[in-house]
Structure 1
């Protein structure tokens, strides 16, 4: 039986006549199936921003089911956060940290409280975001613009900066972008711009951290049914939300969470700087 081990760089030149023979290759390619099992995050600690509801809640619940202890940072949605905590604690420990991630001091506090409780951070999910629909660029005030960037991208920098000293080789960072980063949005211009910044942040950080053994990837969801949608759009638009994608429906948070699990665990060991696109079939070429 072929023994699995840590993959090594190929440094010795070698050639074979076509079509080639695997048994003669040095090293022999590792073709043994990985052991996909429950408990993929056993012993891990995950910090999730915006984990009180929507995609963040689904990710927290799935991570907990797979063995991770979970810290959740959220703004002020206390009832939602308590329900998420209740669901997570069916499986493992959960820490709730309320406050405004637009403030760098709070971002540092979130990390400090997580480490105080759990001693480390193995998985960081940057997920919190907001948006406001405006039909014209001229309608986006400076106040809204600053608020959107302060909420959607600045905390990704600040939380990650604070978390990195507590992350070891083998840790994983997963950032939430959006399909709007790839195809734009005529009514969410500032939001789509922050999501594009998250794509660039993810790719740049992945290159920066690769030698430290920390992988950085992202998820770019399409239309997902979350409180952000219910609180952002007019009733007529909400009634048709998601109907314009090939699957003709909005996705559910539970359908998105497995993408985060894949990127957080060793199943994606050969991936960094990449994005997954659970978006109902829209082709974005990104």
Structure 2
């Protein structure tokens, strides 16, 4: 579905494997300094028109999984509005370039989804630009590793994690639903952390478990409106969030059965599938893209 070279590749060696150079960045992290550089599908993703004429909203679309999804959606024929933080303007410009290079409309919006009114304005902007929202991807997230455990998690950090990962998703889903037509979908980013929490990511893992519950509950609530709600649960993925929030990047991803982290490009096909007509009978589902870690 995604590769121009259709020869099968060994998934163990298809992308870089740790050990990686030790690297550290301030939050939110940037793509450019990362070694190895993340692969968003720039040279590999080949669209098939699966989302032709659709309008998508993606939070955290400036880099990482969000950028890979924006690129894939554009190459599948969708226009894309995506959010970024003020520090991520350069990253956002690159995502816009990739979307526009695919011949689709790109709208980059600086937005802090921890703020209810900014979420409301974001939905209004999407409706102004597109007239509707066919696909909402709640992807933006915040984490900060705390190896010293719960005692090191401040109330400020806890609030930031909860508001970014849960409040933003709640507000945007609630506000977008009146503008999502029958056949539209909401796709949430959860995580392997929802099922196998790492102690140093306690607050983050808590939100990812809640996203699973929210996804399955909302899916049942809106199914009669013709809207599908699903989620993707990635394992370790090589994105700017890693050098910006994790204490050790050298062995990142080595714990997965495949022995490496995913590249963002490997996550995008799941988001394309769930948004497409090929997934018309799928709602309340979680696609586990964990590199072989078994999940419930």
Q: Under TM normalisation by the shorter chain, which class is it? A: 0.7 to 0.9
3-state SS, counterpart of residue 173 of structure 1? strand
Q: For residue 158 of structure 1, what is the aligned residue in structure 2?
A: 171
Would you say 1:146 and 2:159 are equivalent positions? yes
Q: Tell whether the 8 Å contact from 1:75 to 1:101 is kept in structure 2 after alignment.
A: no
Q: Partners of 2:170 and 2:111 in 1: how far apart?
A: 17
Q: If the length of structure 2 is used for normalisation, what is the TM-score? A: 0.82
Q: For residue 260 of structure 2, what is the aligned residue in structure 1?
A: 249
After TM superposition, where is structure 1 displaced by more than 3 Å over at least 4 residues in a row?
none
From 86, 92, 99, the counterpart of 1:81: 92
Q: For residue 117 of structure 2, what is the aligned residue in structure 1?
A: 105
Over residues 64-115 of structure 1, what are the superposed CA-to-partner deviations in whole Å (9 max), with x where a residue is unaligned? 0000000001212000000000000012100011021100000011110111
Q: For residue 275 of structure 1, what is the aligned residue in structure 2?
A: 286
Over residues 117-145 of structure 1, what are the superposed CA-to-partner deviations in whole Å (9 max), with x where a residue is unaligned? 11110000000001011121111111111
Would you say 1:230 and 2:230 are equivalent positions? no
Would you say 1:43 and 2:53 are equivalent positions? yes
3-state SS, counterpart of residue 73 of structure 2? helix
Q: Tell whether the 8 Å contact from 2:192 to 2:235 is kept in structure 1 after alignment.
A: yes
Number of aligned residue pairs = 247
After TM superposition, list the pairs within 5 Å mapping 1:1-286 onto structure 2: 38-76=48-86, 77-91=88-102, 92-135=104-147, 136-234=149-247, 237-285=248-296
Q: Computing the radius of gyration over CA atoms, which structure comes out larger, 1 or 2?
A: 1
Structure 1 unaligned segments of length 5 or more: list them: 1-36
Structure 2 unaligned segments of length 5 or more: list them: 1-46
Q: Partners of 1:223 and 1:101 in 2: how far apart?
A: 24
3-state SS, counterpart of residue 251 of structure 1? coil
3-state SS, counterpart of residue 238 of structure 1? coil
- Could you tell which deviates more after superposition, 135-144 or 237-246? 135-144
Q: Partners of 1:222 and 1:139 in 2: how far apart?
A: 24
Over residues 33-91 of structure 1, what are the superposed CA-to-partner deviations in whole Å (9 max), with x where a residue is unaligned? xxxx8111001000000000000000000000000000001212000000000000012
Higher relative contact order (CA 8 A, sep 6+): 2
3-state SS, counterpart of residue 239 of structure 1? coil
Q: Partners of 1:230 and 1:283 in 2: how far apart?
A: 26
Distance apart, 1:257 and its partner CA: 0.3
Q: Partners of 1:102 and 1:75 in 2: how far apart?
A: 11
Q: Partners of 1:43 and 1:99 in 2: how far apart?
A: 25
RMSD of aligned alpha carbons: 0.8
Q: Partners of 1:252 and 1:170 in 2: how far apart?
A: 29
Q: Tell whether the 8 Å contact from 2:142 to 2:160 is kept in structure 1 after alignment.
A: no
Q: Partners of 1:161 and 1:245 in 2: how far apart?
A: 35
